[in-house]
A and B are shown apart, each in its own frame.
Chain A
Amino acid sequence: MEIKYTIQGLLIYATIAAYLCAFVTSLLRRAKTGHILYLFGFAIAVFSFGYRWYHVRHVPLQNLFEVFLCLGMIYPVSLFCRRFLRVGGYSADMLIGVIVLFPAGFVFNAEPQQLPPALQSWLFTPHVAVYMLSYIIMAKATFHAISQLAGKGPKPNENLLPPEQATYRIICVGFPLLTLGLVLGSYWGKLAWGDYWGWDPKELWSLASWLVYVGYFHFRYMFGKKHPRINSFWAIAGMAAIIITLLWVNLSRLFPGLHSYA
């Protein structure tokens, strides 16, 4: 735990505070105010990301600090799901925003780094950006999976999908992005190292997360109606695998003797 006494740090804390206020307000059934606060938090998050971009002079998606900063801009995902998928969960999204910004604000090192040769490629931004977008979408799906298991759902007057179907729809939005991220990664691997697949731990975890969702689709197709709760377990397992993929470089320090790559 370390507090960042910098403008960057301040911006992150301001975003967290706005999201938290938005969350509390919407729990108090002041949806309109909550929404405005959420939007306000999003504006700071965008500014904070832009500030970082200006500061390091390359797209800030190089290390965990920067990608978590990026994940903090979750608002458009909420909006999209509400508008086009009939999937709600705004207050949960505010909380997801807080959860992803917390490590950026208090844990990860924000020291700017220069791009090593392997990262200087046009594939760097699309590969990471697509992954981050899919991760945040899958996080939202996980929330709906958990609500299904908890027996919670939208009220009938809200015109929203029940949680099981909501989970499926969100995963259908996130999965193509996850696939694209994997393919761009292997294409990049081919360009940079000569191998489209190197079997290194980070790659294998990303394959594992992808396979969990492939398993989810086939399981749901076969038994989805009969065992709807198990569908949700698949979705939650997918998120667990994603978290491990994202944090593996840090987690692998817990397993002595493992080498790892960023």
Chain B
Amino acid sequence: MNLEAKYFSIIIYSKHGNYKYQLQIALNKKQAERASVNILANNIYLAIITRVEFIDGHKGNLMNKFRRAVMWVGLALIILLLFVSVYGAFIGAERAQSFINRLPLMVYWIAFLLLLIVALSVFRRLVRVPGLLLIHLGCVFILAGSMWASEAGHKLQKKLFGIDKITKGQMEIHEGHSDNRVLDDNMQIKELPFSVELKDFQIEYYKPAYLYVQTRDGQGWKIPVEIGSEFPLGPEFGTVKILRTFENFKVTIEDGNRKIIDDPQPGLNPALEVQITSPQGQVTTKYVFERFGGHTRPEDKLALSYRRVISDYISQLRIIKDERIVAEKDIEVNHPLSFGGYRFYQHSYDAEAGQYTVLMVVSDTGVGVVFAGCWMLCIGVFWHMWLRHIVGFDVGSSFVHITARIKTKNK
């Protein structure tokens, strides 16, 4: 018997006529396996070949036309956003940000949100199929949450509920001082209802740091900074030895003599004292500065530079409210502090002397909604595209679903 020939199909139209389910009844397991989903029921292998299909051009009623219009507009909005993203990528982050916050884009976001809500109310499958529901509802949450979290959203909350929060801004705090002033994104100074104190600010570096030595013809060495160890540069250039490291290199005059010190006063001028011994035994001492590299004189055979890689910035913060310490945290990049509806991020620092930190202050309004939406979206796509096929949940349910539909059709 030719197994291939023993397929026969049933096509079922849904109540509204805009969906088509195509079933195939197969006679054995092998045939059923060829179909994308298959179910064994009373020894008949039921194979759903085309899960669902939207019938474009089907002569439907008004509702159908409306659904088609919704799909069309949805696709158009997706394509439009695609072009906006590409355009935004070409103009750079700052201009993209202001472009996106302009009125036409605001109208766009609202339209997209409304369309998603309309889609959820007119496509029954978007509500019935758990994955599709989570995906589209997740998008609704993300859009709504972002609007609520935006500057316009904050203005609206002020108008409606009298909640006056700073959307986003920066604070500069010096070591040992506290402050509650925030310079917001519109360059206005606002005040927080509590103050933030910077106990200490630290920069940490990867160890070892490196001294880079380069010859004029491009030969180079990368030498780990270890005091006292001698490093050979070959028969042509002799050896190099690191004698001292400085955090804050300074030259002072004492009794008419120049003296080089590592100044404990605030300041940042990291340097190395390096001794170069030429193959002829001639010894020269050089200072290599991290921040002022690259000065070579014409007679120099070697160019030296000192590089350290920053491993961390740490601001030790305290929140002070009514003269009491109410929170305390050492914040780092990736480890912000949350307090009083705001989050404080390590944003920048005093590159000259390491004396102050710059924090980014962001209101946390709406952020929870956005992330709830993100996780719904993620769980939705994983459920819809992976898990339901693995656990086989949907196979049964769509079978029940379809038989239910057959029954309603017969009534």
A231 CB, min distance to chain B CBs, angstroms: 13
On chain A, which size bracket covers the interface?
35 or more
Instruction: Encode A86-118 as 1/0 by CB contact (under 8 A) with B.
Output: 000000000000000000000000000011111
Residues of B within 8 A of A191 (CB): 334-336
Q: Which DSSP category, helix, strand, loop or mixed, fits chain B's interface? A: helix
The answer, yes or no, to whether B298 is at the interface (CB within 8 Å) is no
Q: How many of chain B's residues have a CB under 8 angstroms from any CB in A?
A: 53
Are A208 and B312 in contact (CB-based, < 8 A)? no
Are A117 and B332 in contact (CB-based, < 8 A)? yes
Are A199 and B313 in contact (CB-based, < 8 A)? no
Residues of B within 8 A of A225 (CB): 53
B42 CB, min distance to chain A CBs, angstroms: 26
A225 CB, min distance to chain B CBs, angstroms: 6
Are B333 and A199 in contact (CB-based, < 8 A)? no
Known: A114-B311, A200-B93. A212 touches B82 (CB 8 A): yes
Q: Which of B72, B74, B360, B375 contacts A193 (CB 8 A)?
A: B360
Instruction: Encode B71-109 as 1/0 by CB contact (under 8 A) with A.
Output: 110110011011001101110110011001000000000
Are A117 and B71 in contact (CB-based, < 8 A)? no
Residues of A within 8 A of B100 (CB): 199
Q: Which of A116, A179, A190 contacts B367 (CB 8 A)?
A: A190
Are B313 and A255 in contact (CB-based, < 8 A)? no
Q: How far is the CA of A212 from the CA of B332 in the complex (A)?
A: 36
Are B85 and A222 in contact (CB-based, < 8 A)? no
Are A183 and B385 in contact (CB-based, < 8 A)? no
Q: How far is the CA of A192 from the CA of B206 in the complex (A)?
A: 20
Instruction: Encode B132-150 as 1/0 by CB contact (under 8 A) with A.
Output: 0000000000000010000
Top 9 A-B pairs ranked by shortest CB distance?
A200-B93, A117-B333, A201-B89, A204-B89, A199-B96, A194-B345, A208-B85, A176-B381, A121-B334
Interface residues of A (CB under 8 A from B): 114-118, 120-121, 159, 165, 172-173, 175-176, 179-180, 183, 186-188, 190-202, 204-205, 207-208, 211-212, 214-215, 218-219, 221-226, 248, 255, 258-259
12 A-B pairs, CB-CB below 8 angstroms?
A175-B381, A187-B374, A198-B93, A199-B100, A201-B96, A211-B81, A211-B85, A215-B79, A222-B72, A222-B75, A258-B90, A259-B93
